[in-house]
Amino acid sequence: MTKSQRLKPIVRLSVSKERDAAVVLAQAQKVLEGQEQRLNELLRYLDEYQRLLARESTGGVDVKRLHGYRGFIVRLNQTISYQRQQVEQARCEVEQSREAWRTARTRSQALDKAVAKHHRAEQQVHERHEQREADDRASRSVTDDED
């Protein structure tokens, strides 16, 4: 068994690991997109609610209702703060997944290059061997003709 053939199972494993890392990266990106979308929804909701409060406060709102609005805005801001942390955590996970994928891809590409290099070397050895045999046959043919 040639060296390039012995490396093929390792290459297959490496390609499989790269593919798995790509799947993990895609999932992490999907989670990040969902977290960002949730944050944007919360920010839009806060903006709408603040506009509503501003509109109603100009028309005169009782203190109890105004206090309720402000309390809700405080809780909404806390939720937004938490969601920002979730987005940041998801970004970190995407970066970690991306780095793991890059590492797996680099390893896979390096193994592919090694297999190709060994295959070329084996091909050259094979071609030289065939050339030597052809030369030997030709020289035997010439010596047989001389006899």
Distance CA 54, CA 61 (A): 10
Amino acid in position 87: V
Residues 94-125: tens digit of each pLDDT:
999 999 999 999 999 999 898 888 889 888 88
Domains, the chain, in order of start with CATH, read 3-146 (1.10.287.1700)
Predicted confidence band at 91 (pLDDT cuts at 50, 70, 90)? very high
* Full-model pTM: 0.74
Classify 147 as helix, strand or coil: coil
With beta carbons less than 8 A apart as the criterion, state whether 81 and 29 touch.
no
Tens digits of per-residue pLDDT, 32-88? 999 999 999 999 999 998 898 888 777 777 888 888 888 999 999 999 999 999 999
Can you tell me the mean pLDDT for 13-35?
Answer: 97
